[in-house]
Structure 1
Amino acid sequence: MVLASFIRDETERVNVLYYIEIDKKGNQHVWCWVTDLELTDDTVESMMRGGRCRWRIENETFNTLKNQDYQLEHNDGHGEKHLATNFTYLTFLAFPVDQIQELSCPKFQQALNKPGMPTRKRLWRKITSFFLTLMIDSWDSLFKAIAHGAKAQKIAFDTS
Structure 2
Amino acid sequence: MKLLWPWLALFYGYLCETATAPSQIGNLLDPIAPETLYPVLAEVGDQLYTQGCLKPFMSVGGTLLVAMDGTDSFSSEKISCPCCTQQTLKNGQTLYRHTVVTPVIVAPGQSRVVPLPPEFVRVQDGVDKQDCELAAAKRWLTTWGAHYAPRGITVLGDDLYCHQPFCEAVRAQHLDFLFVCKPDSHALLYEWLDDFTRTGEVQTLEKSRWNGKQRLTERYRYLNQVPLRNSDDALMVNWCEVTILNAKQEVVYRNAWATSHTLDEHNVIDMVAAGRARWKIENENNNVLKNHGYHFEHNFAHGKQHLSNFLATLNLLAFLAHTALEWLDEAYRAVRHAAPSRRTFFEQFRTLLQFMPFDNWQHLMRFMLYGENLIPRKT
TM-score in terms of structure 1 length: 0.65
Q: Which has the higher helix share?
A: 1
Given candidates 111, 117, 125, the residue that maps to 2:347 is 125
Partner of 1:100: 324
- In structure 2, the CA distance between the partners of 1:9 and 1:130, relative to structure 1 (3 Å rule), is farther
SS of corresponding position for 1:10: coil
Distance in 2 between the 1:143 and 1:89 partners? 25
Tell me the alpha carbon deviations over residues 5-64 of structure 1, each in whole angstroms, 9 at most, x when there is no partner.
315663743444343323346343232323233345654333212222x23543441344
Distance in 2 between the 1:21 and 1:87 partners? 42
Partner of 2:360: 138
- Tell me how far 1:88 sits from its aligned partner: 3.7
Distance in 2 between the 1:18 and 1:84 partners? 40
Q: Which has the higher strand share?
A: 2
Amino acid at match of 1:120: R
Distance in 1 between the 2:350 and 2:376 partners? 16
Partner of 2:281: 58
Structure number with greater CO (CA < 8 Å, separation at least 6) is 2
Contact 2:227 2:234 in 1 (8 A): no
- Tell me how far 1:129 sits from its aligned partner: 0.9
Partner of 2:370: 148
Distance in 1 between the 2:264 and 2:346 partners? 48
Tell me the alpha carbon deviations over residues 114-147 of structure 1, each in whole angstroms, 9 at most, x when there is no partner.
4xx4432221111111222222342112212222
- In structure 2, the CA distance between the partners of 1:21 and 1:105, relative to structure 1 (3 Å rule), is same
Contact 1:79 1:85 in 2 (8 A): no
Partner of 2:244: 21
Distance in 1 between the 2:314 and 2:269 partners? 36
Contact 1:22 1:29 in 2 (8 A): yes
Instruction: In structure 1, list runs of 5 or more residues that go unmatched.
Output: 155-160
Q: Find out whether 1:6 has 2:222 as its counterpart.
A: no
Instruction: In structure 2, list runs of 5 or more residues that go unmatched.
Output: 1-220
- Tell me how far 1:82 sits from its aligned partner: 5.6
Contact 2:239 2:259 in 1 (8 A): yes
Contact 2:222 2:268 in 1 (8 A): no
Q: 4+ residue stretches of structure 1 with deviation over 6 A?
A: none
Q: Could you say what the CA RMSD is over the residues aligned between the two structures, in angstroms?
A: 3.7
Distance in 1 between the 2:239 and 2:306 partners? 34
Contact 1:6 1:13 in 2 (8 A): yes
- In structure 2, the CA distance between the partners of 1:37 and 1:69, relative to structure 1 (3 Å rule), is same
SS of corresponding position for 1:37: coil
Q: Find out whether 1:34 has 2:34 as its counterpart.
A: no
Contact 1:5 1:16 in 2 (8 A): no
Amino acid at match of 1:34: A
Distance in 1 between the 2:251 and 2:360 partners? 53
TM-score in terms of structure 2 length: 0.32
Amino acid at match of 2:346: W
Partner of 2:133: none
